[in-house]
Structure 1
């Protein structure tokens, strides 16, 4: 496990998910990649016309904050645990973005959080974890979240 990707959906879960990556990276001499996938603002004029500007401005501001958090958090992890760590935000669809990161950085393991949902919820929503497992050719470690 030389390259471990930690997929964070919310900053409050970053520490729990990353702690598992740190343990594995120390055992294997690996590197940790911490990322969050965010929705991208549309770049074409016609798409931007479909909604109020403040929505795009808010999303842009949220993405800047998340990007800064991930970078600073990765620096703290590296300093505290002496494990090479990179933090970054990527915009796009979750499955495609994670698959791209995995391929470009030779990731050996993806660590992601998992929330228990009821069966009815699962029938009417997409299952990103299952879709991710289907798309990746590497292990996915799902960590239970509260």
Structure 2
């Protein structure tokens, strides 16, 4: 597994997910791609809905901070563990964005977090991990988040 993609949804789980990727990458001399998928770019006027400017400014600032955090995690992995890593903030649909990166970077393994939800929650929401497995046709490592 030369190219490993780590999909991060929440910053508090980043260390737990990247630790799994580092172990696998060390074993295979691989590269880690850390990504976070966010809403469409607020600078794109076509993607805006009616609303006050401060909402768009706040979203743009949040995206800048998230992008900086992801790049910092990648830099730390490279320095601490001597494993090649790159961090990306991607805007758009989660499934489509991950699929695009998998194809562009020849990803061999996707690592994503998993939190236990109750049965009713599962009935009324989409199952992104199942959709990823169906779409990507590569292994998906679901890490139980603590």
Pairwise CA distance, 1:64: 0.4
Shift of 1:5: 0.2
- Over 3 Å counting, the alpha-carbon distance change for 1:70 and 1:140 in structure 2 is same
- Structure 1 gaps of 5+ residues are none
Measured in 1, the distance between the counterparts of 2:98 and 2:115 equals 19
Give the match for residue 107 of structure 1. Answer: 107
- What does residue range 67-86 of structure 1 map to in structure 2 within 5 Å? 67-86=67-86
Q: Distance in 1 between matches of 2:99 and 2:132?
A: 8
Choose 128-137 or 94-103, whichever is displaced more: 128-137
Report the 3-state secondary structure (helix = DSSP H, G, I; strand = E; otherwise coil) of the residue aligned with 1:32.
strand
Following superposition, the deviation at residue 130 of structure 1 comes to: 1.1
Other-structure match for 2:45: 44
CA gap of 1:138–1:56, structure 2 versus 1, over 3 A, is same
Q: CA deviation at 1:12?
A: 1.1
1:1-146 aligned within 5 A: 1-41=1-41, 43-45=44-46, 47-146=47-146
Structure 2, unpaired ranges of 5+: none
Conserved? CA contact 1:41–1:56, under 8 Å: no
Structure 1 residue 51, shift from structure 2 partner: 2.2
TM (norm. structure 1) is 0.95
